[in-house]
Chain A
């Protein structure tokens, strides 16, 4: 039963949508990116252009690594553009990717979030906890 439900669920069934996706423009200040990340209680912000084309991501792990390496003053760092610190060409899935595959990729890369992209445009974000909740709710009779 569980196996059959899992095989039916795809990324678009469980992904966060609309304003639940933490997003910022490439020229957003890093300080604003951190506020967006914190405001969504997630560890990721997707960097998109005016047409929502995904240009990169910044995760809390990226920020941790940055803080341990950067030598410039914190005030200067916080004033940097998001695009200067984002991971370009991030891993993403398409809306029809099976959730089992999505979770497998997350496990392999040890990440909690995966952008969902259709023709280059960000349409959602799979976050592990809501995805698990979706699976569990579908298991209920």
Chain B
């Protein structure tokens, strides 16, 4: 059996015209921000806090915040600022920081507007096999960040990639955010990274949603944030091209995913370790080559 490691590099546009490259055994790229866009001021504040750390560790990053959280467990939970207001804020953040920005979208009719602002289009995990969403994501012409559904096997993500390819999209980032382990519980199968990498597309670890305990608190999700460092180190050692984290300056009062977002005060220690392990893995690859133990 031919083993195909992540060989493609995808190019994320940015306001400066310089692209952010993810994949092909390159530098670790970070996708980070608050779960939801709470306000312009808050978005800028979090972007500045993350940016300061990323600059210290010479890490390229993409600002992430969503304008509509359509999969909330409760109808009374914060749903987001909505398409128009949310994208307006994202556009301002993009223009004023010079960062690439990304948001997910949950309705095909939102695709075009999202693509006009965002440099990377995120497909929510729950919708990762929805043809209409994938078609709308591809139609933006932007790279697509496709999260593995918690119900999906890593090998079946190839089918979603094939759908995107059929709509002329070949700039895809595949992310693991955990897999359902019974009810209200996720686990990370680290084999997901090399298995998804067999598609040839770069792979990413979502460190904060992976510690989620879905809808474990009645009508909201809980989370075990204390395991973010462990899982991040494991994923970086296993082999990833990008790291995704939701970061907040005041998690207790975060309007979305309050139980899983990483407090900004811990952000540096998680990123620094992930980057260090990533760089070590790249050195090991230089010395020993791609993993090719007992190929089947």
Measuring CB to CB, which residues of chain A are less than 8 angstroms from any residue of chain B? 27, 69-73, 75-76, 79-80, 83-85
Contact = CB atoms under 8 A, between A and B. Distances in A.
Given A71-B296, A72-B296, A76-B153, A84 B158 contact: no
Contact residues on B (Cβ < 8 Å of other chain), bracket: 10 to 19
Given A84-B1, A84-B2, A85-B1, A76 B155 contact: yes
Interface in B127-171: 153, 155-156, 158-159, 162
B2 A83 contact: yes
Nearest to A75: B153
A79 B296 contact: no
Nearest to B156: A79
A70 B153 contact: no
Contacts of B1: 80, 84-85
- Per DSSP, chain B at the interface is loop
Nearest to A27: B162
Contacts of B296: 69-72
Given A70-B296, A72-B296, A79 B158 contact: yes
Q: Which 8 A-B pairs have the closest CB atoms?
A: A76-B155, A84-B1, A79-B155, A84-B2, A79-B156, A70-B296, A79-B158, A85-B1
Interface centre among A69, A71, A79, by most chain B C-beta atoms within 10 angstroms, is A79
Interface in B1-47: 1-2
Nearest to B1: A84
B155 A75 contact: yes
A76 B159 CA distance: 12
Contacts of B159: 79
A27 B199 CA distance: 11
Contacts of B156: 75, 79
A84 B199 CA distance: 12
Contacts of B158: 79
Contacts of B155: 75-76, 79-80
Nearest to B162: A27
Contacts of A69: 296
Nearest to A88: B2
B3 to A, nearest CB: 9
A72 B191 CA distance: 11
Interface string B270-293: 000000000000000000000000
Contacts of B153: 73, 75-76, 79
A71 B156 CA distance: 17
A84 B3 CA distance: 8
B22 to A, nearest CB: 23
